[in-house]
Amino acid sequence: MKLRLFAGVSALVVTAGLSACSSSSDASDGSTAIDVWLMRDSVSDQFQKDFVKSFEAAHPDIDVKVQIQEWDGIGEKVTAALASSDAPDVIETGNTQVAQFAQSGGLLDLSDKVGELGGEDWLKGLAEPGAFEGKQYGIPYYAANRVVIYRTDLFEKAGVDPAAIKTRDQWIAATKKLNTGGTQGIYLPGQNWYTLAGFVWDEGGDLATESGGKWKGSLDTPEAVRGMEFYKKLQALGRGPKDSDEANPPQADVMAKGKVAQVVSSPGGANTVVENNPALKDKLGFFPIPGRTADVPGAVFTGGSDLVIPTASTKQDAAYTFVKELTGDTWQKKLAVAMSYVPNKTTLSDAVASDPGASAMAVGAAEGHATPNTPGWAAVEAKNPIKDYLTAVLTGGDARKEAAKASEAITTAMNSGT
């Protein structure tokens, strides 16, 4: 979604240290009230209540007021809030949105806090998009990424051991064995571009690269084209549509019909499958997307959220205290268990060891990536020439020629506002 960015916020404020921020009191008892925007369904009501209760007990001088926001239209709402004189004190934002908000000067630079927050262990797929032009604005909150959800009974019937699938070649061989009779070895829609991105990254390619302040689409590099070629090979081992994505039709609905051995999804997709077909309860398993070699799992797009503090907040000390505690080890472990998320640090992956889906995610998260870290990427996703590229190749187009067209479209979109 392309956001309407604004100007006029003092750059001086962005670089100001937290010690210079005011923390005004809002109650007769001398406590400071902070307004926190969290996103709908990012955490459960119970987790939110437990955290706020514990936080306020530990910090009786801070009163937390949480407002739940809807994802639809949140970009414009945050942009307007950052430009106002009445911004919230803490905002949860999608990790790939931070650059858009930071470009305006509306976010507090937290670079000097990275060390005490344990930033050396952050998942790079959350930390990198949380930075902009060398400064850290977004503090990693939680992560989620794609894994392979598979039918345990169909794997057993085909004599396939999921634990033995460590490489992409082994994945292809196993999927061919599963692709028999009326069963699809894998249901992979043609326009699942996040999955394509992982294969491109595996090969050493990227969606776009930056040079001299200008971005250029790079799907036409030899590395990226090899990623496309693998996607085509895998997609052919099922009957996924070539001209739509995983939401059209919802792939969990397709898997629930009982004739699909695998899908690529976040683990939460398994819950939807079972809701649609209770007979599949206890018949679904998870494994990380395989990599080119057995020693490195497949690259994945790391989705999730960061926490940011607006420069317009007059209570940044209290806001930082809130961010520090919610993103600290104690509550990250609790969040991972409660929500089956990947914690924000690689050192905390053991917290989800007993959760099959989350532990599979955690393995992949170590090779997590984000989309190009620039405000211009929003224009790419708005039109998404990558989806058109996938369909063109899967329906017979030359991969190199179609990649060149897509790269040109990406280049135009990313630089349209510069």
Residue that wins the pLDDT comparison between 75 and 405 = 405
Query: Mean pLDDT across the stretch 344-369?
Result: 92
Query: Mean pLDDT across the stretch 303-308?
Result: 94
Percent of the chain exceeding pLDDT 70 equals 93
Q: What does the mean pLDDT of the chain come to?
A: 91
* Residue 151 β-bridge partners: 284
Rounded to two decimals, the pTM is 0.81
Indicate the pLDDT class of residue 391, thresholds 50, 70 and 90. very high
Percent of the chain exceeding pLDDT 90 equals 78
State pLDDT tens for residues 270-283: 989 999 999 999 99
Residue 10 confidence (pLDDT): 27
Residue 213 confidence (pLDDT): 84
CA triple 21-23-28, angle to 5 deg:
165
* Residue 264 β-bridge partners: 148
Predicted confidence (pLDDT) at residue 186 exceeds the cutoff of 90: yes
Residue 17 confidence (pLDDT): 37
> Which residue, 148, 125, 145, is CA-closest to 288?
148
Residue that wins the pLDDT comparison between 418 and 63 = 63
- Residue identified by tokens 């459960």 is 44
Predicted confidence (pLDDT) at residue 1 exceeds the cutoff of 50: no
Predicted confidence (pLDDT) at residue 67 exceeds the cutoff of 70: yes
List Cα–Cα distances, 339 to 89, 124, 267, 314, in angstroms. 24, 21, 11, 32
